[in-house]
């Protein structure tokens, strides 16, 4: 039987199913299939019975409702372990008098020692500090939190009871934190979707796209107040200059309309004057033809000369007005051009990191897209390097966050001097940076990163009067012919972590 193919076994199983006149249920087919194949059927999993039990279980609060959903998923996966976990968690969300308050007062016994009281108080304060991050939407959870805090500060609470209280509360806390994280991620996704849609609608407005890029960058985790404040400042600058540019453009449009209106008026006057002049000249011509003496010609000539002078004065006056309007229009155009240049500069800041001035993730994506296209068009090598500052958390803890920021600025300054003009430096997040090295093979890219490490050993970071040595671990990857940039960055990231694990302050190829 073992040498038969699965299709042959399946056909034989269907044949026996018909011969025995059994209902064509999955269970009957599975039994006959293993009978034909000569294998043992898997242990029976009562899916339908479990689903009936789950349907009969009440969902009196969000915790129980969520666990019933997990139970349904576990039944669909035929996983006893997940079924057990869902049922245990469901039971912890008992409804009615609080399971925390259900603890009976302990009998008089030895007082807990001072260390235990201090630890319990620290745990209570930790719970209080965590509450603002969990929101106030779940009133039931807020009540449970108040009960836990009251119990933890009970004078005669024993460690055994404290462990039970904290165990139950930790489960509820995990679901509350998970819900807040999902809400936060959902809101960020919605914001990014709105920004993306606005950006698509403003495809021809490069200044608006600069603002949208800045907002999308600000809404990309990890978030921090410094980053949001800086983006707000830059957006206000862009909005102010954009409003000013629109005002100037409106003024220029008014001046242009005035120029055209004046030009049309002058043309009309010139046409009217020209018609009057021609009529006057024709009249003078007829008088000259009828004149029989020089005395009769004198007044006619004076009249023709006066008409010619008036025509010349009107022409000069119209020319002067048109030239003045043209000069004003040129001044307005020059001012608008200057504002456009400034707007381009401010919008470009949306692609740079506020702290270090190097490219941010948005600017990095654009640079990678451009360099990859160039490398493949010219059949050139392209390397990407991911570097991470060693022991940065310890530096922050010992010297403070301001010193940490200054250290990152020092690193980028040294990096700009050490890398080549065609290379691009970007902040990837936190203390991680990416260097894009066009027209560079792997061995040369590793040499460039190693040279940067040597520069950092000679250029100490000064924190006040103290010299602080900054080192980094880096991974380098050369982009394959058909490889996606994201895959190359993953290889560089893996090499960087290997450099971290093997001693730090190293550069490894991935």
Q: Which residues are catalytic?
A: 431
Which SS3 state, helix, strand or coil, does residue 459 take? coil
Q: What angle do CA 104, 108, 113 make, to 5 degrees?
A: 100
**Structure tokens given for 380:** 């050139």
CA gap 128, 113 in Å, rounded: 23
CA gap 406, 412 in Å, rounded: 10
CA gap 16, 6 in Å, rounded: 15
The dihedral of CA 128, 134, 138, 144: what is its sign?
A: negative
Q: How many CB atoms lie within 10 A of CB 39?
A: 12
**Structure tokens given for 499:** 């450099």
Per DSSP, helices labelled H in 222-293 are 225-290
Q: What's the Cα-to-Cα distance from 363 to each of 138, 424, 428, 433, rounded to whole Å? A: 41, 10, 10, 13
DSSP 477: E
DSSP 100: T
Residue closest to 427 by CA, chosen among 220, 186, 189: 220
Which residue carries 């009970």 as its tokens?
154
DSSP 352: B
Q: At what angle do helices 401-418 and 442-458 cross, to 10 degrees?
A: 130
Which residue carries 């991050």 as its tokens?
133
Q: How far is CA 493 from the centre of its chain?
A: 20
Which residue carries 């980053």 as its tokens?
227
Within 8 A by CB and 6+ apart from 90, the residues are 57, 63, 64, 67, 68, 71
Q: How many CB atoms lie within 10 A of CB 139?
A: 8
Contacts for 232-239: CB closer than 8 Å, 24+ residues apart: 234/346, 234/349, 234/350, 234/354, 235/211, 237/346, 238/207, 238/210, 238/211, 238/214, 238/343, 238/346, 238/347, 238/350, 239/211
**Structure tokens given for 16:** 């026996």
Q: How far is CA 223 from the centre of its chain?
A: 10
């Amino acid at each position: 039987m073992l040498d038969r193919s699965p299709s042959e076994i399946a056909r034989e199983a269907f044949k026996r199913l018909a011969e025995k006149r059994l209902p064509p249920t999955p269970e009957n087919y599975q039994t006959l299939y293993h009978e034909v194949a000569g294998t043992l059927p898997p242990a029976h999993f009562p899916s339908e019975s479990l689903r009936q039990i789950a349907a009969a279980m009440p969902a009196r609060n969000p915790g129980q409702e969520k666990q019933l959903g997990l139970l349904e998923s576990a039944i669909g996966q035929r996983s006893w372990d997940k079924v057990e976990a869902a049922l245990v968690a469901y039971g912890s969300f008992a409804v009615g008098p609080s399971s925390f308050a259900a603890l009976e007062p302990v009998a008089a016994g030895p007082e807990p020692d001072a260390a235990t009281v201090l630890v319990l108080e620290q745990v209570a304060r930790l719970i209080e500090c965590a509450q603002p991050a969990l929101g106030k939407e779940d009133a039931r959870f807020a009540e449970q939190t108040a009960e836990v805090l009251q119990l933890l500060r009970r004078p005669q609470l024993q460690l055994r009871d404290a462990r039970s209280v904290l165990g139950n509360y930790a489960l509820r806390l995990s679901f509350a934190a998970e819900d807040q994280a999902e809400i936060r991620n959902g809101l960020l996704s919605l914001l990014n979707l709105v920004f993306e849609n606005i950006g698509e609608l403003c495809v021809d407005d490069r200044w608006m796209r600069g603002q949208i890029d800045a907002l999308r960058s600000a809404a990309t985790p990890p978030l921090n107040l410094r980053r949001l404040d800086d983006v707000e400042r830059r957006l206000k600058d862009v909005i102010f200059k954009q409003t000013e540019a629109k005002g100037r453009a409106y003024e220029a449009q008014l001046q242009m309309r005035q120029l055209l209106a004046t030009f049309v008026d002058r043309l009309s006057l010139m046409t009217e004057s020209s018609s009057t002049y021609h009529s006057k000249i024709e009249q003078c011509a007829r008088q000259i033809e009828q004149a029989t003496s020089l005395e009769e010609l004198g007044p006619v000539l004076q009249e023709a000369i006066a008409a010619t002078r008036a025509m010349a004065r009107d022409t000069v006056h119209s020319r002067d007005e048109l030239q003045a309007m043209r000069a004003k229009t040129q001044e307005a155009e020059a001012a608008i051009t200057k504002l456009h240049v400034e707007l381009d500069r401010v919008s470009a800041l949306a692609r740079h990191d506020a702290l270090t001035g190097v490219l941010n993730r948005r600017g990095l994506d654009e640079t990678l897209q451009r360099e990859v296209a160039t490398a493949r068009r010219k059949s050139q090598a392209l390397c990407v390097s991911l570097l991470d500052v060693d022991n940065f958390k310890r530096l922050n803890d010992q010297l403070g966050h301001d010193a940490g920021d200054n250290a990152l600025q020092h690193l980028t300054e040294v990096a700009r001097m050490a890398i080549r003009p065609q290379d691009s430096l970007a902040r990837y997040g936190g203390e991680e940076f990416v260097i894009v090295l066009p027209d560079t093979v792997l061995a040369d890219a590793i040499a460039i990163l190693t040279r940067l490490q040597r520069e950092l050993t000679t250029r100490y970071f000064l924190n006040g009067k103290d010299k602080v040595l900054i080192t980094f671990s880096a991974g380098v990857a050369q982009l394959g012919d058909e490889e996606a940039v994201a895959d190359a960055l993953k290889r560089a990231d893996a090499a960087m972590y290997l450099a971290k694990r093997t001693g730090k302050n190293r550069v490894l190829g991935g």
